[in-house]
Each structure stands twice: as structure tokens, then as C-alpha cells.
Amino acid sequence: MKVTRPLEPEPRFRAPCGVFCPTCFLYMGNHDDPARLPHASVVLGVPEEDLRYEGCGSPRTAARCASCAVRRCAEERGVDSCADCPEFPCSLLRDAQEKSPQLREAEASLHVRRKQGFSGWFLRTQEEFRCPHCGTLNSVYDLWCRSCGASPSCPFAARNGEEALAFWKNRPSDFPRP
């Protein structure tokens, strides 16, 4: 069953980088789209049990996320997100944005978070990932809606989906970490 209901801004979704955790590849694989997890496991060469993920703000994050430089930096600086950091937007964040399709609009996303706070940002941002036809939440990697097949699957994928797919195909040994 794909997610169509509005999601609440839970603390576990407080990714400091501006990523919307519920549409992260790993999060979907651990929740409503379990077929993604074995795929990620093969691509990464990491056992599925090491890819358990409940959101970047949760203590239960995959090892790769626990070692994320942006996450560590925000922790060390004691800021809830990069939006609260005086260095924002720094080269570390811009670098991460450059490397990952899921982070492609991180800087813009964090500007919204700075203005609207976490809850306002969360409610607004989820609409960027919602199918305009059936309301299902999709990821940047879903060129077609996971429920109704509409394309593009959501506004975010309309802007970044083709690039995301090329990224995935061109880097089979890497994982498009959020």
C-alpha cells in the first residue's frame, strides 16, 4: 500500500540537510516499498539488516547515514539543521547537493525551513513528492507514480527525475544516498 495520507512532522524526519526523509530510497525500502531494500543491499554490498532506517533524526539510521559528514557537522555545531547554521550554505552542503539527486534542491529546501520552521517546511515539502493524480508519495527516482503510473510522478521528480535515473545507471556500485 503506497502512502497517500498526509504525514506528520515527526522528530525522526528532522534531516539536517533538508532532505525529505519519507521519500528517501532507504526509508521507502524499510516501509511501504520493501522490494527496494534487497536492491539497495546488492548495489551497496551491505546486508539488509545494516540498511534499517527510520529517518535521519531517528537513532535508528543506516551505518552510511550515521557517518554522513553533513549530519555529523550539524551535530557537532549543535544546530537542528543547516538552516540554523551561520555558515549556511557552506561548501560541504553544496558539495553534497551536487553529488546526490535526493539532495538536489537542499539549499532551496533549507531556505524554506529557515522561514517556516520544521513543521511548516515538512507540510509544504511533502507536496513536492506527491502524485498530482492520486496523491501517492514518490521519490525522485520514480519517473512514474508507484500507484497510478502517472508521469511525472511528482513535482520534484519532474524537475530532477531524469538526472536521478542517469545518476543511478552511471554509478552502479554507488548508492544514491539522500
Give the residues lining the site for Zn ion (CB under 5 A): 131, 133-134, 136, 145, 147-148, 150
The minimum distance between CB 134 and ligand SF4, in angstroms, equals: 26
Out of Zn ion, ligand SF4, none, which partner does residue 131 contact, by CB within 5 to 8 A per kind? Zn ion
Q: Does 118 bind ligand SF4 (CB under 6 A)?
A: no
What residues contact residue 159 under an 8 Å CB cut-off, 6+ apart? Answer: 104, 105
Q: Which of residues 4-23 bind ligand SF4 (CB under 6 A)?
A: 15-17, 19
Q: Return left, alpha or beta for 81; rule: phi > 0 is left, psi -120 to 50 is alpha, else beta.
A: beta
Taking the least distance from each CB to ligand SF4, the nearer of 16 and 161 is: 16
Q: Is 27 exposed, middle or buried (0-12, 13-18, 19+ CB in 10 A)?
A: buried
- 71 lies in the site for ligand SF4, by CB under 6 A: yes
Residue type, 119: S
Q: Which does 133 bind (CB under 5 to 8 A by kind): Zn ion, ligand SF4, none?
A: Zn ion
Indicate the DSSP class of residue 137: B
